[in-house]
Structure 1
Amino acid sequence: MSFNDGSQLDPSQVEDRRGGGGLGRGPLIGGGVGGALLVLALTLLGVNPGLLGDLTGGSGQPGTATGQASAGASQCRTGADAAQRLDCRIVGTVNSVNAFWAGYLPSQGVRYTRPKAVVFTGQTSTACGPATTAVGPFYCSGDVTAYFDPGFFDELVTRFGSSGGPLAQEYVVAHEFGHHVQDLVGTLGYAQRDPQGPESGSVRVELQADCLAGMWAHYASTTDDPATGKPYLQPITQKDVQDALSAAASVGDDRIQKSATGRVDPESYTHGTSQQRQTWFMRGFSGGDLKQCNTLAGRV
């Protein structure tokens, strides 16, 4: 899904830590699109994924990484920049997602508070422990921040077979902001209560975030840029939808497990199968209704 050239981006909504910041410690790490990669690695090594917080430094005080924005994201000013640069596309998607949920959630009796977003390279500190490319994008409820290393998007294509289209990347950003919405409506905590298995709370929470990402995509081309009164994004195409579905499938538990070990173990699922992730994204995209995203009841 391409940005309209004339849309005005707000880079102040994204902190750019590339080239700065250290490692810190904090509470348990939150779920995310890429979190399945680290959980899978722990499972293969015979380690309980419930110890994820400890293994990533999940105790003590939050880190003190610099909050200064580098020249990178601050140069993201227009939709044309988002079309040319991945970091600017992240900025633009953050702007669009924030605008959508700020307009939608009050109709559901929920006040939307804007989370922070951080772009980093390699590693940075969070209230949930170190964020690294290996962990992938994730949302940390401890500091109400979504973290993105642009290098993960290359991994998504080269290692996991996703398409590299814009909506494949935008889906990842919208998924992580979906976790923030879950934080606001009270469903995010289900992931920690029941951390793995095909019908686990973790799987249900991740699939709901996929559905919320689909909801954003449903409304994205009609969500206006406050600066211009015109939509941030152009109308979605079938190719855009296929790009998003490709990204969702590439991070399915079954696909990752099969690729890594040659077998599939549903009892260690944390994010859902490729088919489930596609199905729930499409449910949100087709319906555009929060009620369609209730993954906590019934079978998923």
Structure 2
Amino acid sequence: MTFNEGAHVDTGRVSVSGGAGGGRGGRYVLGGGAGGLIVLVLALLLGGDPGSLLGGLSGSTGVPVDTGASAVSSSLAERCRSGVDANRDVDCRVVYTSGSLDEVWGPQLPAQTGVDYVAPKVRLFSGAVNTGCGNATSDVGPFYCPADSTAYFDTSFFQLLTDRFGANDGALAQEYVVAHEFGHHIQNQLGDIGRAQQDPRGATSQAVRTELQADCYAGVWAHYASTQPGPDGSAPLLAPLTPTDVRDALSAASAVGDDRIQRSAGARVNPEGWTHGSSDQRQQWFLAGLDTGKVAACDTYAARDLNNPPALR
């Protein structure tokens, strides 16, 4: 989706972290709109729990966030002045997509669920970052940490998504990733996010259902993004969806399906090791949210057939 050239958001909404952090321990991270791909490939090949391969990101106790490693970047304010910048600069695209997600979920979450929306924190980082879930490197990909309610993005990942996993390089392919991580935050607010840890692996596991629901929530955002007024009642931040936009988003969703990742790594498809769902499932649940704009259409936990979302029947 293309940002309207006159669009403006609060760039202070997003913080920037430097390199490595030193935390260990923590709760768990959820990444996987496109996040955690390198770690996920190893887990799918080895048949293990992806969380166990994250080292400090798995554990039983939380650790404080190293707030000294995070600062609002004045360069973002200078670089990301309007929708023009969001259309050409990937960091600015994350900033503006975050602003659009706030504008959509701000009214939609309470209207549809009765729960007031509390915006997650968003942090850009390069190389490594310390989080409320522990220390993470760029190998994890984009992820959400429920312990500090923060979505983390190393935007170099988007090129990897195209080069290694074959996703289109269109804007909505990248915006989908941001929207998916915000989807995990919505789950955190609604009290569902912990289900992934209760049943972390398998074709119909709670982990897969959690990831597919985040895909669906990304679709809910896309449903409203071009019509929801911008900050202070201004024009919508994004131009209307085009068929190309939808194809771009679906290509990203397909690229990070468990079956496709297993095949690309030269392994047989093994649903018992799945944590995120198949390529087709990820596309279908994104479309369920996109077509309906309804949180209720995203109830993957109650779905009997994850290959056929009720909203699309």
Which of the five TM-score ranges fits, normalised by the shorter chain? over 0.9
- 1:10 correspondence with 2:15: no
Number of aligned residue pairs: give it.
Answer: 299
Name the residue aligned to 1:92. 96
Separation (CA, whole Å) in 1 of partners of 2:244 and 2:200: 34
Q: Mark the CA change 1:37 to 1:28 in structure 2 (over 3 Å): closer, same or farther.
A: farther
Identical-residue share of aligned pairs (%):
50
Asked if 2 retains the 8 angstrom alpha-carbon contact of 1:36 and 1:270, the reply is: no
Asked if 2 retains the 8 angstrom alpha-carbon contact of 1:23 and 1:63, the reply is: no
Q: Mark the CA change 1:153 to 1:86 in structure 2 (over 3 Å): closer, same or farther.
A: same
What's the CA shift for 1:50? 4.8
* 1:106-162 CA-partner distances (Å, limit 9, x unpaired): 112111111100001111111112222211111100000000000110110000000
AA paired with 1:41?
A: L
Asked if 1 retains the 8 angstrom alpha-carbon contact of 2:52 and 2:58, the reply is: no
AA paired with 1:37?
A: I
Name the residue aligned to 1:29. 28
Once structures 1 and 2 are overlaid, which stretch shifts more, 71-80 or 227-236?
Answer: 71-80
Once structures 1 and 2 are overlaid, which stretch shifts more, 210-219 or 257-266?
Answer: 257-266
- For residue 174 of structure 1, the aligned residue among 157, 174, 179 is 179
Q: How does 1:189-200 map to 2 (within 5 A)?
A: 189-200=194-205
SS of the counterpart of 1:130? strand
Asked if 2 retains the 8 angstrom alpha-carbon contact of 1:23 and 1:123, the reply is: no
SS of the counterpart of 1:110? coil
- 1:81 correspondence with 2:85: yes
What's the CA shift for 1:37? 3.4
Q: How does 1:219-238 map to 2 (within 5 A)?
A: 219-227=224-232, 229-238=234-243
- For residue 280 of structure 2, the aligned residue among 275, 281, 300 is 275
Name the residue aligned to 2:71. 68
- For residue 206 of structure 1, the aligned residue among 204, 211, 219 is 211
AA paired with 2:222?
A: A
AA paired with 2:64?
A: P
- 1:252 correspondence with 2:253: no
Name the residue aligned to 1:142. 147
SS of the counterpart of 2:123? strand
Separation (CA, whole Å) in 2 of partners of 1:2 and 1:228: 19
Q: Mark the CA change 1:46 to 1:290 in structure 2 (over 3 Å): closer, same or farther.
A: closer
Q: How does 1:107-122 map to 2 (within 5 A)?
A: 107=111, 108-122=113-127
Name the residue aligned to 1:104. 108
Asked if 2 retains the 8 angstrom alpha-carbon contact of 1:191 and 1:205, the reply is: yes
Q: Mark the CA change 1:290 to 1:57 in structure 2 (over 3 Å): closer, same or farther.
A: closer
Q: Mark the CA change 1:291 to 1:54 in structure 2 (over 3 Å): closer, same or farther.
A: same
